[in-house]
Amino acid sequence: MSQSPNMRFPQMSFVGIDGVLVRFAAQVSTDANKAALAFHAHISKSEGRGILETAPSLTAVFLKLDIESDLNAVLDHIRAEMMSRDWFETLNQQKRFWRIPCSFDGPQLREAADLANVSETQAIAEITASQTRVLTLGFAPGQPYLGNLDVHWNIPRMTGIAHNVPAQALVIALRQLIIFTNATPTGWRHIGQTAFKCFDKDRAEPFAFQAGDLVQFEQASRSEIDALQGDTLGGARLEVVS
């Protein structure tokens, strides 16, 4: 990322008596997400200097403060770090790039395609051509929010709930994709199936993804996905790119 975030940002606001939120945009964007992740990587090095904990979200970083410390000094430190832009240097580091097989045969693929005003064939072509980023992890261990797709994929969640979408399913809403860690109810539309385990407690690294990873899906048949269920990463391939 070569340009700076919107000049109105970053902004700092208080959350309760011991929290600070540093925001990088009012809406989700790739630039704001990159800035939030970079600032989190930078400011987390300050933990133990009046900052007890840090956590990134899609466009912001939450900092939990030690209320027994000199809060004025801690806040001055956070403001200085926000404005220093030193953390910008981390934005162009090498990235991890995942290629993940997926069968696009989910029960709501046609509905999602109709909402995006494309055919099912076009939907599959567009999604498999897209390099998405892990914007954040959450809701379940290691579960990624992947984005952003083109604007016509800004389709809403369902008004109802699908009660039993399986683990490793690919779902879509709001220009984002998710691979489910566990079987779960959801308002997101189920469009495909992977064999990829986002979280596996028996792996050396239980969380497969890191925030900022790049992800691209490759079309596969359901029989191919079924055959990959015993594979540690469900047929996914990981490489490091500049």
The rounded average pLDDT for each run of 10 residues, N- to C-terminus, in the chain (242 residues) is 56 94 90 89 83 91 94 92 76 81 98 98 98 93 95 96 95 97 97 97 92 95 96 94 75
Please give the pLDDT value at position 30. 83
Q: How far out from the chain centre does Cα 66 lie?
A: 28
Q: Amino acid letter at 228? A: L
Strand (E) or helix (H) holding 38: helix 30-43
How big is the chain, counted in residues? 242
Give the whole-angstrom CA distance, residue 215 versus residue 116: 21
153-168 burial code (b ≥16 CB/10 A, e <16): bebeebeeebeebebb
Please give the pLDDT value at position 95. 81
- The number of helices, as runs of H, and strands, as runs of E, in the chain is 5, 14
- What's the predicted TM-score (pTM) here? 0.82
Name which of 194, 196, 189 is nearest 174 in CA terms. 189
